Amino acid sequence: MELNKKRSDCPLSGSLDVFGDKWSLLIIRDLMFGNKCTYNDFLKSDEGIATNILASRLKGLEENGVIEKTAHPDSKAKFLYRLTPKGIDLLPMIMEIYIWSDKHYEMPAELKATIKEAKKDKDKFVKQITKELKTKMTEKKQ
C-alpha cells in the first residue's frame, strides 16, 4: 500500500497517511460506536464501501497498528477486527469532528443529545468510552 511514503516530517501529514481518506475513519467509527467487528458488518454500513476498498483499508489500518485481526470465536471462516489502544486513542479526534459537525450542520436528534452530553465533560466522556472499548478488547481475548 502506501507504506513508507512519508510526504514530509509534519505529524499531521503523517497522520493523514494513516487515516486521511474517505473510508478509514468510517471503519474506525463502526468499531467504536457501531458494535461492528467483522468484514461483513463493515460492508453493510450505510455508506456502501466497495469490497476491495474495505479489504485494502483493513490491511492498511492493521499495518499501521490501528486495528488488529484475530480469529473469530464463533467461526473459523470469520475474522474479528478490533481497535488497538492506538486506534482507541483516536476517539478524542473523532469526537471533535462530531462536535464540529454538530455546530455547522444538521444532525440526527439522538446523536445531538449524545454530543451535548459529551461536550459537558469531554475528558470524562473519553475516559468512559475508552474504558468500555478496552473492556471489550480483553473480554474476547482467548
Binding-site member from 59, 70, 96, 131 for a copy of itself (CB under 8 A): 96
What's the closest the beta carbon of residue 99 comes to a copy of itself, in angstroms? Answer: 7
- How far is CA 10 from each of CA 3, 92, 130, rounded to the nearest angstrom? 16, 20, 27
* Contact region with DNA (CB under 7 A), list: 35-43, 98-106, 111-119, 121-129: 35-43
33 makes contact with DNA (CB under 7 A): no
Q: Which of 98, 118, 125, 133 binds a copy of itself (CB under 8 A)?
A: 98
60 binds a copy of itself (CB under 8 A): no
Calpha distance 68→43 (Å, rounded): 18
Structural contact between residues 1 and 63, judged by C-beta atoms closer than 8 angstroms: yes
Sequence-distant contacts of 127-136: CB under 8 A, at least 24 apart? 129/32, 129/91, 130/88, 130/91, 133/32, 133/83, 133/88, 133/91, 134/85, 134/88, 136/82
Q: Which is nearer to DNA, 46 or 123 (CB)?
A: 46
Residues at the site binding a copy of itself, with contacts judged by CB under 8 A: 7-17, 20-22, 25-26, 29, 45-48, 65, 86, 89-90, 92-105, 107-108, 111
